[in-house]
Structure 1
Amino acid sequence: MTDDSRRPAPIPLTVLTGFLGAGKTTLLNRLLRDPAFADTLVIVNEFGEVGLDHLLIETVDDDMILLGAGCLCCTVRGDLIGALEDLLRKRDNGRIRPFRRVVIETTGLADPAPILHALIYHPYLVLRYRLQGIVTVVDAVNGDATLDAHPEAVRQAAVADRIVLTKADLDPGAADRLRARLQALNPGAAIDGTDVPAADLLGGPFGLEGARADLRAWLGEAVPDVRAAPQPQDVNRHDASIRAFSLTNDAPVSRAALEMFLDLLRSSQGSKLLRLKGLVAVADDPERPLVLHGVQHVLHAPISLPAWPDQDRRSRLVLIVRDLDPAFVGKLWDAFLGRPAIDAPDAAALTDNPLAIPNG
């Protein structure tokens, strides 16, 4: 039997993403000079066969790794997994100095979902790394037009835990309008300027000591409940098909009902589920809530907290979806909770194959 007490603590990992020209490299260079980034290993992904981005990143000892096989998508996931595994072997064998955290900077053209799949689905990586947060950099001057023209930029903003606005001083009015749009697109994300301290950028509910108090902020108190009146959507926006909403329950939830709800949701609607976060009281152990997070078809193994972060004991799931009616998900949630007054969802509405096997 494996002695879990001897297993090394998971290494916090932050994903830094953002569209081309948003300012990721500039932000990363500044953060690398911050003492809070000591003992941080950076993995850089770049687009194209000729390496250019690494010339713009200052060398930090030997802890810079460049992946040059293409944009960070399914075609490069094998390289990423291999690199992360190799780093662990070198660290464990003393061939490189120990690192306390990892930052992955993605290419500006990347859909973040594949990298998140690798981090929360791979059976070994999930034991050794712990996703601490997703930071998305957005250009305040060109961000509005970028969101209109590029679905990848919309997805990058939608899955973020924290959004960093760059160049906001160049056009404060445009920055304010973009901030409002990003807040509507992803109500749970904190939105900061480039002066955000490194410690805050690295912070999250999974890695740093004492961070459990940040769980409510991580979930996003501004995300409306699915039963609230629907917010108006601008049909001229490419992100109008993306909705953020929450599901709540005052009483503890049956573990079996929760698992069945999540299994059906991810198998039938996984391609439309951009991000899921949750803090849930389970009936068999209500004082030790479960932290949930997932991307599309893949859900991270639940993390059991030793106690609630505050006095609010409600179960809460926060979802960001694309082309999926929040009311349908709400009915599904109510059906598994056994709420008699709510109509069960129509099975014909399960547009994806409900028997699909998650492929990571």
Structure 2
Amino acid sequence: MTLTQTSPGTTRDVLAGLIPVSIVTGFLGSGKTTLINQLLKRPEMNRVAVIVNELGEIGVDNDLVQVSSEQMMLLNNGCLCCVLRGDLQETLRDLFIKRRNGEIIDFDRVVIETTGLADPAPVMQTLLTDTLLLEQYRLDCVVTLVDAVNAPGQLTQFSEPVKQTALADRLVVAKSDLVTEKQLSDLTARLEELNPNAPVRVALHGDIELSFLVDVGLRRTHADLEEVERWLGAGEEGAHGHHGHRHDASVETFVLRFEKPMPWSAFTQCLDVLTALRGPDLLRVKGLVNVEGKAGPVVIQGVQHLFHPPLELAAWPGDDRGTRLVFITRAIPRETVANLFAAIGAITAQSAN
């Protein structure tokens, strides 16, 4: 879906009541299953549906299993584990239908565990663009697990952990007890360089505060400043661009800001040009746009060439009404994107005159 195919606007709170979905990703052996198992033990997480590739991978203790089959496993605490069948759309739709018909628990959150070699981008694209799923679910958070012992080498040798890190909303470092403080500090610095917009936390044996991992995404169109900042995650440190190194040298993270309102047509033209020319390298884009004629900001978010339908918030959450766009790219410099916006903005202004 390109942004020119849609226009911002809403007559109701389209986010209210949607089921939040968290994606837990990370390279091989990074501790994804350990983290999920710890989360399932929390009383606040007793109505969660977990989607995995194989039930055996979740590693749940047998005494916690109430009912089990080849495709689904119900735990004593109310959580539901199910196998990804066919494609993700089919699995999520099937879960929702069974939930609506009372065939399974009335789950209030979904956690998707990817394989260690998986690219999380297609999963994100599904949640951001599938028309039917958009009526029932919303992408809440991408959590990437990082192995403190092996990550330094993996980030150098493999592309998968680099992209998993770059696309994250939250970064969780596991196995920190097996490295020195200096090694942990160096790894944290590298992660912050690769993705300065994702907060980093250390989790020992999967133990981490729940508030760090849930309710990260926008939950309502009447979002307050704290909610928006938590979702956007872009501090001033991201404004000037960051470069990775070694294997991740091509990853760039930066923030563009525009103080004046811009025509929706000009904004969408900029992003459409970017996606047409460099779609695969536009790893992630999210932000608030000050659109001419709109009372509130327009929320946009996309992964590579696919974008969520634009959503207008009811009002600006704070005094800052400038457009703020967070870009995570592969070898697309900040200057290239800024120059494109400037050029199209100038053409639009001339046409208006």
**CA distance in structure 2 between the aligned counterparts of 1:165 and 1:339, rounded to whole angstroms:** 46
Rate the CA distance shift 1:143–1:212 in 2: closer, same or farther, 3 A: same
1:35 deviates by 2.0
Deviations 1:35-77 (A, max 9, x none): 221211111125xxxx64133576424611023x7xxxxxxxx
* 2:332 alignment partner, one of 297, 302, 324: 324
In the alignment, what sits opposite 2:58? 54
**CA distance in structure 2 between the aligned counterparts of 1:159 and 1:6, rounded to whole angstroms:** 25
Question: 1:157-236, aligned counterparts within 5 Å?
Answer: 157-171=165-179, 172-194=181-203, 195-207=207-219, 213-219=226-232, 220-225=234-239, 228=240, 234=245
In the alignment, what sits opposite 1:356? none
Is the partner of 2:105 in helix, strand or coil? coil
| Poorly superposed stretches of 4+, deviation over 4 Å | 3-8, 56-59, 208-212, 230-233
Q: Does 2:114 align with 1:115?
A: no
Rate the CA distance shift 1:192–1:6 in 2: closer, same or farther, 3 A: closer
What do you get for the CA RMSD once the two structures are aligned? 2.5
Q: Is the 8 A contact 2:275 2:304 kept in 1?
A: yes
* 2:47 alignment partner, one of 39, 43, 51: 39
**CA distance in structure 2 between the aligned counterparts of 1:232 and 1:62, rounded to whole angstroms:** 41
Question: 1:110-149, aligned counterparts within 5 Å?
Answer: 110-149=118-157
The alignment of Structure 1 onto Structure 2 pairs a total of residues equal to: 319
Q: Does 2:286 align with 1:282?
A: no
Q: Does 2:291 align with 1:243?
A: no
**CA distance in structure 1 between the aligned counterparts of 2:115 and 2:323, rounded to whole angstroms:** 36
* 1:334 alignment partner, one of 322, 338, 342: 342
1:169 deviates by 2.7
1:223 deviates by 4.4
1:112 deviates by 0.6
TM-score by length of structure 1 reads 0.82
Q: Is the 8 A contact 2:193 2:244 kept in 1?
A: no
Rate the CA distance shift 1:56–1:21 in 2: closer, same or farther, 3 A: farther
Rate the CA distance shift 1:289–1:167 in 2: closer, same or farther, 3 A: same
Is the partner of 2:30 in helix, strand or coil? coil
Q: Which has the higher contact order (CA 8 A, sep 6+)?
A: 2
**CA distance in structure 1 between the aligned counterparts of 2:320 and 2:15, rounded to whole angstroms:** 32
Question: 1:232-311, aligned counterparts within 5 Å?
Answer: 234=245, 237-285=246-294, 287-311=295-319
1:143 deviates by 1.0
**CA distance in structure 2 between the aligned counterparts of 1:55 and 1:233, rounded to whole angstroms:** 35
**CA distance in structure 2 between the aligned counterparts of 1:148 and 1:103, rounded to whole angstroms:** 29
**CA distance in structure 2 between the aligned counterparts of 1:32 and 1:124, rounded to whole angstroms:** 28
Q: Is the 8 A contact 2:276 2:305 kept in 1?
A: yes
Q: Does 2:94 align with 1:66?
A: no
Q: Is the 8 A contact 2:300 2:311 kept in 1?
A: yes
TM-score by length of structure 2 reads 0.83
Q: Is the 8 A contact 1:247 1:333 kept in 2?
A: no
Moved more, 105-114 or 166-175: 166-175
Rate the CA distance shift 1:233–1:136 in 2: closer, same or farther, 3 A: closer
Unpaired runs of 5+ residues, structure 2, are 1-10, 66-74, 349-353
Percent of residue pairs identical: 40
